[in-house]
């Protein structure tokens, strides 16, 4: 299909460990157009983060293919991400403590993300980085202090700014705001929605919060044990689930 | 990288038997007593406050939930209860802290070492990343049990490690003992972290955001486990969470923090049904569950003030829709009793 920013065909991912093979993703198909968003929900261990990591090239698919903006980035005969396309897909990780380099100043992390993918003068890049950080609620002082001096929520805001820095076309957000208080979550998600509308950003939104998934996405994928159990327009799937598993997921979310 | 690799586990180290300071649990006296506590550091030669001030006390076996703004000092407060502030370049700069009958306000590392882990069990924020990926679960539990510093034979410690896993109801415990963290699901890892915190049977358990990274079903299982453990062990609980529902499920008391200060504290149902501070009130109203597609989510307007840039007067005034002139001068209001609980709003009677 033309016009799709993300096209995933029959994705399988297996982790090979010393003792066993974990079939983390077992057949997933997905298309997302520019400016559209798709949610992924499912119980812990169902394979959501693995899909996310495959999309950004952090884990190789065992079979199947991934196209980003028409480029085959993973799968048979894929060239992988090359310099020209890598910036197009950015990810916000689940864990604010694990995803930032403690030896690097937050501002430098964002600056690097800007300058690596776009040609800007140093001064321009710095202004842009500080603006971006400010929009997620991080002051210059905080941005130039050590990571150790920042709270869990502040770290997560920095990873959000860093992901947005290269002006990506696709944002893979894995529980992006679950470490923030309710008001901060609201502020950041409003920002994300604004950027999405302005730039036609496609978003993959992974969350345990079905209310937020309903609010933010047009389509949704329900996963269990690596399988897709249900997939379709978010309103339809979450209001009229056809699968028992989805029904249970919705029931436990409300309890 | 974890916040501090193995922070929760390495804390449990006991001194030689006989020399251990006593952990006093007197049912009539607060087990934890925090009085006008300040936490901070020197920056550019000037004092910088991170927590200023918190007053709270907890009887043995009692429970307290802490909610509040990201960056308001919740984690720093928890670190002060475990004597780990120094690892982050900060310290107690005022007020008083006492736990288990010991005044720990000016305690140094050597004072903390024999108490830490026995007085307070701590599961730090980000603890899902806190297990050491190269060590087995058993090795880490043995460390938490104080093997090496306590007179405990290895065989005995192994039995205790196994018992700890039973305590937190881990299925396949014998196998899990020999696994490493990446082989465990988020829920299982959190159980192991809790087991480690319980190793020296502390009368108080401090959990910093224990369920944020878990899905609703696993979250519920962990919350139920914590509740059961409290019943079985008669343990006190301090739980930090930005999810008020989680706090209410486990804690009879709740404290709201904003910009380093206690702004409201009292019985959970009371605060939920009748918040007496505009910040708590706003927090309750920014529940995301009510989101309507196409409309903006409700957030408290303005930005949270950074440490070192707190406004004069009530620290919440620039974002408070009820602020009046009197709110903008003087010091942060001290909490006072209104309607059965404490609020730091000078206009509580008029505005909530
Ligand atoms: N590096 C790895 N090596 C081996 N197994 C792994 C690895 N990463 C994940 N797994 C396993 O793959 C499965 C899917 O994990 P994944 O992290 O994708 O789940 P998830 O849906 O994101 O879960 P959560 O909601 O807890 O974040 C799980 O069984 C997990 O234990
Ligand atoms: N060394 C330091 N220098 C300056 N500020 C610091 C330092 N260490 C911590 N801070 C600040 O102290 C504040 C309190 O941090 P803390 O981690 O306790 O927040 P929190 O309430 O737990 O937030 P979250 O909900 O995001 O985890 C933060 O604003 C942080 O930036
Ligand atoms: S003291 Fe004033 S500014 Fe502060 S919360 Fe109360 S009404 Fe608002
Ligand atoms: Mg995940
Ligand atoms: Mg914290």
Instruction: Tell me which of B234, B251, B268 is where a domain ends.
Output: B251
Segment holding A221, helix H or strand E: strand A219-224
Instruction: Tell me which of B204, B220, B251 is where a domain ends.
Output: B251
Same domain, yes or no: B153 and B204: yes
The residue that leads in pLDDT, A85 or A163, is A163
Tell which residue, B213, B203, B288, B276, has the closest CA to residue B244.
Answer: B288
Most confident residue range from A137-151, A233-247, B204-218? A233-247
Query: What φ, ψ does residue B62 adopt, rounded to 5°?
Result: -80, 165
List pLDDT tens digits, range A85-132: 677 899 998 776 667 887 889 999 999 888 877 788 989 999 999 999
Same domain, yes or no: B197 and B333: no
Task: Pick the residue of A20, A139, A151, A248 with the most B CBs within 10 A to test the interface with B by mutation.
Answer: A151
Same domain, yes or no: B244 and B266: no
In the reported structure, the alpha carbon of residue A47 is separated from the centroid of ligand 1 by a whole-number distance in angstroms of 6
- Dist. CA B144–CA B165, nearest whole Å: 13
Q: Return the SS3 of A140.
A: helix
In the reported structure, the alpha carbon of residue B137 is separated from the centroid of ligand 1 by a whole-number distance in angstroms of 18
Region of B201 please: left (phi>0), alpha (psi -120 to 50) or beta.
Answer: left
- Dist. CA A117–CA B166, nearest whole Å: 51
Closest residue in A to B43 (Cα–Cα): A145
Asked if residue B8 belongs to a domain, the reply is no
Give residues 135 to 164 of A whose Cβ lies within 8 Å of B.
137, 139, 141-142, 148-154
Same domain, yes or no: B147 and B73: yes
Asked whether residue A252 carries a pLDDT value surpassing 90, the answer given is no
Same domain, yes or no: B179 and B199: yes
CB B64 within 8 A of CB B253: yes
Asked if residue B14 belongs to a domain, the reply is no
- Dist. CA A206–CA A174, nearest whole Å: 5
Place of tokens 């005034």: B317
Asked if residue B58 belongs to a domain, the reply is yes
Over residues A228-238, the mean pLDDT reads: 96
Q: Domain total for chain B?
A: 2
- Dist. CA B268–CA B247, nearest whole Å: 8
Asked if residue B1 belongs to a domain, the reply is no
Same domain, yes or no: B214 and B138: yes
CB A129 within 8 A of CB A165: yes
Asked if residue B107 belongs to a domain, the reply is yes
- Dist. CA B272–CA A183, nearest whole Å: 16
- Ligand 3 in reach of B347 Cβ (< 6 A): yes
Tokens at A65, concatenated: 């293919």
Closest residue in B to A193 (Cα–Cα): B296
Same domain, yes or no: B279 and B180: no
User: How, if at all, do strands B204-208 and B120-123 pair?
Assistant: parallel
Place of tokens 């993973």: A74
Tell which residue, B88, B104, B139, B123, has the closest CA to residue B202.
Answer: B123
CB B209 within 8 A of CB B241: yes
Tokens at B147, concatenated: 């093997």
Domain harbouring B38, CATH code: 3.40.50.300
Q: Which residue puts its alpha carbon closest to atom 22 of ligand 1?
A: A49
Q: Taking the mean position of all CA atoms in its chain, how far away is CA B59?
A: 16
Q: Which atom of ligand 1 is nearest to the CA of A49?
A: 22
Question: Which structural domain range is residue B245 located in?
Answer: 32-251
CB B212 within 8 A of CB A151: no
Residues whose CB is less than 8 angstroms from the CB of residue A70 and which lie 6 or more positions away in sequence, other chains included: none
Instruction: Please give, rounded to a whole number of angstroms, the shortest distance from the CA of B150 to a CA of chain A.
Output: 32
Instruction: Please give, rounded to a whole number of angstroms, the shortest distance from the CA of B207 to a CA of chain A.
Output: 14
Asked if residue B234 belongs to a domain, the reply is yes
Ligand nearest to the CA of A50: 1
Rounded to two decimals, the ipTM of the complex is 0.81
Task: Pick the residue of B6, B75, B272, B297 with the most A CBs within 10 A to test the interface with A by mutation.
Answer: B297
Most confident residue range from A82-91, A142-151, B250-259? B250-259
Test site for ligand 1: of A14, A16, A49, most ligand atoms within 8 A of the Cβ: A49
The confidence score (pLDDT) of residue B16 equals 46
Q: Mean pLDDT score of chain A, rounded to an integer?
A: 88
Q: Which residue puts its alpha carbon closest to atom 28 of ligand 2?
A: B71
CB B6 within 8 A of CB B140: yes
- Dist. CA B263–CA B256, nearest whole Å: 6
Interchain CB distance below 8 Å, B129 and A149: no
Instruction: Tell me which of B228, B251, B274 is where a domain ends.
Output: B251
Q: Got the DSSP string for B272-298?
A: HHS--SHHHHHHHHT-GGG--TTSPPP
Which residues of chain A have a CB within 8 Å of the CB of B291? 211-212, 214-215
Residues whose CB is less than 8 angstroms from the CB of residue A112 and which lie 6 or more positions away in sequence, other chains included: A104
Tokens at A174, concatenated: 């894995």
User: Which residues contact ligand 1 via a Cβ below 6 A?
Assistant: A 15, 17, 22, 24, 42, 44-50, 94; B 182, 185-186, 215
Same domain, yes or no: B242 and B263: no
Q: Which residue puts its alpha carbon closest to atom 25 of ligand 1?
A: A44
Asked if residue B25 belongs to a domain, the reply is no
Query: What φ, ψ does residue A42 adopt, rounded to 5°?
Result: 150, 160
Q: Which atom of ligand 3 is nearest to the CA of B322?
A: 7
Which residues of chain A have a CB within 8 Å of the CB of B209? 152, 179
Tokens at A251, concatenated: 């029931």
Alpha helix (H) residue ranges in chain B: 7-10, 74-81, 109-112, 137-144, 154-167, 173-176, 186-198, 216-233, 244-250, 268-273, 278-285, 348-351
Interchain CB distance below 8 Å, B215 and A102: no
Tokens at B98, concatenated: 């006492």
Whether cis (ω within 30° of 0) applies to the bond prior to B53 is yes
Place of tokens 């048979």: A76
Segment holding A30, helix H or strand E: strand A21-33
Closest residue in B to A44 (Cα–Cα): B215
Q: Got the DSSP string for B75-98?
A: HHHHHHHTT-GGGGT-EEEEEEEE
- Dist. CA B132–CA B194, nearest whole Å: 15
- Dist. CA A193–CA A201, nearest whole Å: 9
Any B CB within 8 A of A121 CB: no
- Dist. CA B318–CA B327, nearest whole Å: 10
The residue that leads in pLDDT, B302 or B228, is B228
Over residues B336-349, the mean pLDDT reads: 95
List pLDDT tens digits, range B42-75: 988 999 999 999 999 999 999 999 999 889 999 9
Same domain, yes or no: B185 and B268: no
Tell which residue, B196, B162, B174, B341, has the closest CA to residue B267.
Answer: B341
Vertex A130, ends A124 and A132: CA angle to 5°? Answer: 100
The confidence score (pLDDT) of residue A73 equals 83
The confidence score (pLDDT) of residue B215 equals 76
Any B CB within 8 A of A178 CB: yes
Same domain, yes or no: B178 and B206: yes
List pLDDT tens digits, range A191-228: 888 888 888 899 999 998 888 899 999 999 999 999 99
Q: Give, as one character, the DSSP assignment of residue A99.
A: S
Asked if residue B287 belongs to a domain, the reply is yes
Lowest mean pLDDT among A69-73, B198-202, B251-255, B280-284: A69-73
Q: Mean pLDDT score of chain B, rounded to an integer?
A: 88
- Ligand 3 in reach of B261 Cβ (< 6 A): no
Same domain, yes or no: B174 and B314: no
Mutual angle of helices B186-198 and B137-144, in 10-degree steps:
30
Lowest mean pLDDT among A67-81, A126-140, B28-42, B160-174: A67-81
Same domain, yes or no: B59 and B173: yes
Q: Give the nearest partner residue to B70 out of A184, A189, A212, using CB atoms.
A: A184
Measured between alpha carbons, how far is residue A10 from residues A4, A25, A70, A226, B157 in Å? 16, 10, 16, 12, 49
| Residue B7 confidence class, pLDDT cut points 50, 70, 90 | very low
The confidence score (pLDDT) of residue B12 equals 39
């Amino acid at each position: 299909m033309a016009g799709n920013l993300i096209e995933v065909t029959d994705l399988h991912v297996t982790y090979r460990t010393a003792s066993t093979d974990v079939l983390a993703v077992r057949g997933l198909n997905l298309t997302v157009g520019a400016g559209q968003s798709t949610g992924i929900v499912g119980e812990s261990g169902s394979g959501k983060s693995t899909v996310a990591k495959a999309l950004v090239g952090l884990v190789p698919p065992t079979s199947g293919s991934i196209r980003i903006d028409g480029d085959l980035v993973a799968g048979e005969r894929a060239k992988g991400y090359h310099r020209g396309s890598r910036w197009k897909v950015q990810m916000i990780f689940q864990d604010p403590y694990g995803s930032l380099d403690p030896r690097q100043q937050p501002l430098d992390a964002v600056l690097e993300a800007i300058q690596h993918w776009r040609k800007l003068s140093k001064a321009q890049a710095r202004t842009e980085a500080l603006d971006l950080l400010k929009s997620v609620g991080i002051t210059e002082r905080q941005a130039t202090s050590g990571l150790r001096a920042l709270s869990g929520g502040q770290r997560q805001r920095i990873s959000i700014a860093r992901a947005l820095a290269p002006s990506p076309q696709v944002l893979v957000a894995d529980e992006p705001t679950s470490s923030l208080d309710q008001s901060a979550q609201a502020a950041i998600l409003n920002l994300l929605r604004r950027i999405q509308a302005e730039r036609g950003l496609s978003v993959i939104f992974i969350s345990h919060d079905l209310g937020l998934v309903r609010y933010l996405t047009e389509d949704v994928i329900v996963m269990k044990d690596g399988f897709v159990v249900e997939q379709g327009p978010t309103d339809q799937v979450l209001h009229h689930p056809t699968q028992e598993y989805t029904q249970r997921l919705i029931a436990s979310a409300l309890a | 990288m974890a916040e501090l690799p193995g922070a929760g586990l390495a804390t449990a180290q006991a001194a030689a038997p006989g020399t251990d300071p006593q952990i006093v649990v007197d049912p009539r006296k607060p087990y934890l007593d925090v009085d006008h506590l300040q936490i901070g550091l020197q920056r550019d030669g000037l004092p910088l406050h991170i927590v200023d001030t918190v007053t709270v006390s907890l009887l043995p076996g009692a429970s307290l939930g802490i909610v509040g703004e990201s960056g308001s000092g919740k984690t720093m407060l928890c670190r002060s209860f475990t004597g780990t502030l120094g690892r982050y370049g900060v310290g107690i700069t005022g007020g008083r802290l006492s736990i288990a009958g010991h005044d720990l306000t000016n305690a140094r590392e050597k004072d903390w070492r024999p108490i830490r882990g026995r007085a307070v069990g701590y599961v730090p924020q980000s603890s899902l990343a806190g297990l050491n990926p190269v060590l087995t679960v058993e090795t880490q539990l043995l460390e938490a049990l104080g093997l090496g510093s306590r007179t405990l034979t290895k065989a005995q410690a192994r039995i205790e490690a196994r018992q700890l896993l039973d305590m937190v109801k881990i299925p396949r415990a014998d196998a899990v003992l020999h696994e490493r963290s990446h082989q465990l699901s988020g829920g299982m890892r959190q159980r192991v972290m809790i087991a480690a915190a319980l190793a020296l049977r502390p009368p108080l358990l401090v959990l910093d955001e224990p369920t944020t990274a878990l899905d609703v079903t696993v979250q519920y299982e962990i919350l139920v486990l914590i509740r059961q453990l409290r019943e079985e062990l008669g343990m006190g609980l301090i739980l930090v969470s930005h999810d008020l529902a989680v706090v209410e499920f486990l804690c009879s008391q709740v404290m709201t923090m904003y910009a380093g200060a206690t702004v409201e504290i009292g019985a959970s149902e009371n605060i939920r049904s009748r918040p007496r501070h505009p910040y708590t009130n706003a927090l309750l109203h920014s529940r995301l569950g009510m989101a309507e597609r196409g409309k903006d989510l409700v957030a408290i307007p303005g930005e949270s003030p950074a440490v070192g840039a707190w406004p004069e007067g009530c620290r919440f005034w620039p974002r408070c829709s009820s602020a009046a002139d009197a709110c903008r001068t003087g010091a942060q209001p001290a909490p006072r009793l209104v309607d059965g609980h404490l609020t730091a709003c000078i206009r509580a009677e008029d505005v909530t």
